[in-house]
């Protein structure tokens, strides 16, 4: 996923003129690239949503009226409980899957690295507030926290994902054990 021009320009703007000149010298390009990658990793998006309305209305709001048929109706409040009944405000960003990684492996890797996994409600809020960020991922953005996993009676486990292509919005379920590559992302929260 490439950073937007505005986000990079904002980071450069915060540097002093002397720092800007130093960073832009040809011999400093590798350092500039490392700096920009680290800065982009630190960008979080504030998501605020009212949990008292329930999960399904949150998802319906996130996909919009034109996409109500693009919601998997197995996604219910009972199967994917919200974190409470108050207004929830979290800072989110998307972390890429490693090539060939399952959601199960990604959950372990990300939590071992200190990340907090986002819930289904957080994903609905993120889709509503930042559809352009979801659209940057040519794959999907998934919520893989423990409370975002639903098991069928036969043990088959699914997790929710969001997808955006133009005006098209999708909120669906996928196999927790499917392998993904780096065009897919996991929504995580700031600590």
DSSP classification of residue 84: -
Phi, psi of 170 (to 5 degrees): -135, 135
Is residue 109's pLDDT more than 70?
A: yes
- Sign of torsion over alpha carbons 69, 136, 58, 176: positive
> Where residue 142 falls among pLDDT bands split at 50, 70, 90?
very high
pLDDT in tens, 155-182: 999 999 999 999 999 999 999 999 999 9
Is residue 50's pLDDT more than 60?
A: yes
Match 């490392």 to its residue by tokens: 34
> Among 3-17, 54-68, 137-151, which stretch is predicted with the lowest mean pLDDT?
3-17
Distance CA 4, CA 145 (A): 28
In this structure, are residues 58 and 121 in contact, taking their beta carbons and an 8 Å threshold?
Answer: yes
- Specify whether the backbone of 182 is left (phi greater than 0), alpha (psi in -120 to 50) or beta: alpha
pLDDT value for 39: 63
Residues 6+ apart with CB under 8 A from 155: none
What mean pLDDT is predicted for residues 49-77? 97
Token pair listed for 55: 């999960």
Number of Cβ atoms within 10 Å of the Cβ of 121: 28
pLDDT value for 1: 43
Element (H, E) at 99: none
* The overall pTM is greater than 0.95: no
Provide the percentage of residues in the chain whose pLDDT is more than 90. Answer: 74
pLDDT value for 154: 95
Q: Which residue has the higher pLDDT, 171 or 18?
A: 171
pLDDT in tens, 51-61: 999 999 999 99
pLDDT value for 190: 87
In this structure, are residues 60 and 71 in contact, taking their beta carbons and an 8 Å threshold?
Answer: yes
Surface-to-core class of residue 66, CB atoms within 10 Å of its CB (0-12 exposed, 13-18 middle, 19+ buried): exposed
Which candidate, 46, 185, 47, 180, places its Cα nearest to that of 124? Answer: 47
Distance CA 21, CA 119 (A): 42
Phi, psi of 140 (to 5 degrees): -115, 170
């Amino acid at each position: 996923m490439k950073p937007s021009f505005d986000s990079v320009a904002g980071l450069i703007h915060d540097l002093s003129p002397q720092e800007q000149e130093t960073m832009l010298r040809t011999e400093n390009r590798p350092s500039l690239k490392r700096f920009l990658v680290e800065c982009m990793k630190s960008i979080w998006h504030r998501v605020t949503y009212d949990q008292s309305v329930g999960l399904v209305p949150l998802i319906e709001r996130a996909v919009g009226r034109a996409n109500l048929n693009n919601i998997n109706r197995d996604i219910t409040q009972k199967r994917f409980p919200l974190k409470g009944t108050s207004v929830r405000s979290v800072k989110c960003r998307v972390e890429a899957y490693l090539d060939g990684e399952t959601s199960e492996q990604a959950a372990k890797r990300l939590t071992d690295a200190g990340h907090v996994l986002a819930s289904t409600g957080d994903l609905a809020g993120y889709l509503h507030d930042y559809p352009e960020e979801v659209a940057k991922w040519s794959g999907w953005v998934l919520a893989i926290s423990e409370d975002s996993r639903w098991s069928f009676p036969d043990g088959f486990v699914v997790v929710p994902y969001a997808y955006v292509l133009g005006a098209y919005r999708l909120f669906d379920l996928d196999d927790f054990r499917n392998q993904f590559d780096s065009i897919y992302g996991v929504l995580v929260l700031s600590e």
